[in-house]
Structure 1
């Protein structure tokens, strides 16, 4: 008798698609098998193809089949900033990188600080997206108490800017307002996501240094101390109120150690690392100038090594792109006026995969693939309560990525889907390529033909919490 991972009952619909492969990356590990798909969902995983001949077939062979990736940190710039990105271009970049679900940030024009503005953005995006989506609402510094009554059908997470930059108009500078936000979020069960740098510290340094004279001065004016001070404040507020807090784009070794210590003490605080901070160091800034200007800034080799250890040991919860495009003219303007941020949703998975294979060449690639799926699919879906996302399992959405793990290729400007038209990774030779991306069982990117699918991505409803740990980091050594 054929062994089944899930035995369909008599009510299981007839499959309309079978995806077969020898390297299906499931939460239980990498295995061979056949995914039976009906109505956009996985109904079963079988050892033999039991579907009728009328079902469509896709054979992934020796390529990995990953769950559709979840990028919980993008800026697709709609509304108000669509001269440098929009949902058509941003979602094309996403699916070429294997991303099928994104969570968009609120710092648009106007910023999405209230349910009505967030829902207006959702209406504007409808019919223009290749990916499914959820939106982080923005914290209104003047009304932090609103988080206590946030409608979970609108948003379950709120972005807090603790430091300002060119596209962050809603910075929480008042310590009392920040404390109110943590209290209200705890009361309302809202997940905070935080740009954790200390704005007052940066203002003090800016007043002392005066106008910068070169792009290389940026890191000195936005040093690691800004992040360390802010993360310490977050940890204390989490301790006081029990608020669920997720630190975005963590950039230094000290911050990583601090959050890991807080997790060990039982605090519900987690962190994200970006592909940019894993890929670039301050040596690249000397070469690329403003193209690698980020907030938080790119740090040194020792910090990069610590962030890689956080990934390998399973200490971080999510990998994110912080996809934040600007035009070339904006990035290469005056030294003081060059905004931080660069595109990255298209490059995220391949950059991280390439880094893992180069840093750990003797590691079983199945282990690396499982790690990638865990932190770029399963755990963000759990943390942000995204129904049907994050795993290859019966009942899950049929969001899948056919990934060729050993294919080398060089990124050129011609490959860039983002509307800004450039990438800091131009000229890089990656290992691993997304051959096909499926959302709800339908192809939305096919590398062989260079074609995209339907722009019918949906706004995801809220879901009940997966567990009570809120995505807290596992013990070291998980990865």
Structure 2
């Protein structure tokens, strides 16, 4: 199956101007600048003229709760699973699933089954083994064997630190688990990343620093998220990134979280860049279908709202239109940087040999006209 997307104003993510993309099955076979001979034409090739519409890489979301999350207010507050239709329209073509607070009524088997359901619908899906608590819940009996033997499992997460819902892990526990995930990742050709849920306790990211200081594990083996949830955590996150770590900002939010001081994700990106944080150390994730709970000062549950997968594309637009970040730079935060951290070199870029995951943007405003995943159009507006 060959498809030729003609006259695309291409951001790969670098701006390449008007180009033609040849898709062979699931991958990009060629990118040809306008005016150069087309690589193929004729019968058997579906040609689609995009008439100068902007084309960007499909988004890579490193934290999605495929099977729902939360339940901190009881069974009536469990959030729903991610629907395929919502995922296809979101612009996110690569999703990494995680368990969260609840690893009792939700399991790694649930997570893996949902990942394969979404993949059958056309998306690319991966998972983290484990959850907030330690010892980690696994499918095969250990973190290492999950990563080595199950193709979808690429790391460990979402392990909670500085949060009253976690297991209060010690630095030595974090270092040992990171070493296990890292070694398994090396054996399997995966990242072995340890994805970290960061709460609002005053310890912030210090447990990760202590784990790195007391071991041979680099800070970049950890990928802490929710760094924009409080002003103090945000400032600590900037220091963490300057020290060699990665930081991930959450795009889903609520009025209550913003009122409590959360830094909106696009603003967090702009402020981090202004503070001269290396851009490749910054990523965005949606925290989709997680519960976004609110607790009072006594840590009593007040209420929650679910995270939304569409918030990642919305935050990308806010980076560009509200904060003046060039589109080619902003794309990295929502796609390429996560792909690099997760060791997915075929994602987050539009170049020969990469997966044909791309978004065709609407002519006006900030909206998605088409979503292509693995060489197939899976969504078109209207």
Band of TM-score, shorter chain: 0.7 to 0.9
SS for the counterpart of 2:362 is: strand
Q: CA deviation at 1:336?
A: 4.2
Moved more, 37-46 or 371-380: 371-380
Query: 2:47: which partner in 1?
Result: 57
Q: Which protein is richer in strand relative to its size?
A: 2
Deviation at 1:75, TM superposition (A): 1.1
Residue 67 of structure 2 contacts residue 110 of structure 2 at CA under 8 Å; is this kept in 1?
A: no
TM-score by length of 2: 0.77
Does the 8 A contact of 1:310 with 1:316 survive in 2?
no
1:24 pairs with 1, 7, 10, which one?
A: 10
Within the alignment, does 1:172 sit opposite 2:171 as a pair? no
Root-mean-square deviation over aligned CA pairs: 3.7
Instruction: Point out where structure 1 has 5 or more consecutive residues left out of the alignment.
Output: 1-14, 198-221, 408-431, 450-479
1:445 to 372, 379, 382: 379
SS of alignment partner, residue 167 of structure 2: coil
Give the TM-score taking structure 1 as reference length: 0.63
CA separation of 1:40/1:63 partners in 2, compared to 1, >3 Å: closer, same or farther? same
**What is the aligned counterpart of 2:177 among 175, 181, 193?**
181
The Cα of 1:138 is off from its aligned counterpart by: 1.1
* Deviation (angstroms), 1:177: 3.5
Q: Secondary structure at the match of 2:289?
A: coil
| Aligned counterparts, 1:130-141, within 5 A | 130-139=122-131, 141=134
Report if the CA contact (8 A) 1:71-1:102 is conserved: yes
Distance 2:375 2:204 in 1: 42
Question: How far apart are residue 79 of structure 1 and its match?
Answer: 9.5
What's the counterpart of residue 162 of structure 1? 161
How has the CA–CA distance of structure 1 residues 359 and 230 changed in structure 2, closer, same or farther, with 3 Å as cutoff? closer
Aligned residue in 2 for 1:352: 316
Match of 1:85 among 77, 80, 83: 80
1:73 to 43, 63, 69: 63
Cα distance change of structure 1 residues 50 and 150 upon mapping to structure 2, 3 Å threshold: closer
Which residue of 1 is the match for residue 249 of structure 2?
A: 273
Q: CA–CA distance in 2 between the matches of 1:93 and 1:105?
A: 18
Tell me the number of residue pairs that the alignment of Structure 1 and Structure 2 aligns: 347
Other-structure match for 1:103: 96
Aligned partner of 2:344 in structure 1 is 386
Offset of residue 322 of structure 1: 1.0
Residue 220 (structure 2) pairs with residue 246 (structure 1) = no
Whole-angstrom CA distance in 2 between matches of 1:153 and 1:298: 42
Residue aligning to 2:194:
192
Question: SS in structure 1 opposite 2:126?
Answer: strand
Q: Secondary structure at the match of 2:246?
A: strand
How much does 1:238 deviate?
A: 2.1
1-structure distance, mates of 2:130, 2:161: 12
Deviations 1:313-365 (A, max 9, x none): 526421111113569xx99xxx94444453321132123313431232xx6xx
The answer on whether the counterparts of 1:182 and 1:237 sit within 8 Å (CA) in structure 2 is: no
Q: Distance in 1 between matches of 2:273 and 2:282?
A: 8
Question: What are the ranges of 5 or more consecutive residues in structure 2 without an aligned counterpart?
Answer: 72-76, 186-191
Report what 1:343 is aligned to.
Answer: 307
1:248-397 matched pairs, under 5 angstroms = 248-251=225-228, 252-265=230-243, 267=244, 269-276=245-252, 285=255, 289=256, 292=257, 298-299=261-262, 305-310=267-272, 314=279, 316-324=281-289, 336-360=300-324, 368-386=326-344, 388-397=346-355
* Structure 1 SS opposite 2:203: helix
Indicate how the Cα distance of structure 1 residues 300 and 384 shifts in structure 2: closer, same or farther if over 3 A, else same.
closer
More moved, 252-261 vs 32-41: 252-261
- Distance in structure 1 (CA, Å) of the matches to 2:184 and 2:117: 31
| Change over 3 Å in CA distance of 1:134–1:26 after alignment to 2 | same
- CA-CA distance at 1:18 after TM superposition: 0.7
Establish whether residue 94 from structure 1 lines up as the match of residue 56 from structure 2: no
Compared CA separation, residues 235 and 67, structure 1 to 2 (3 A): same
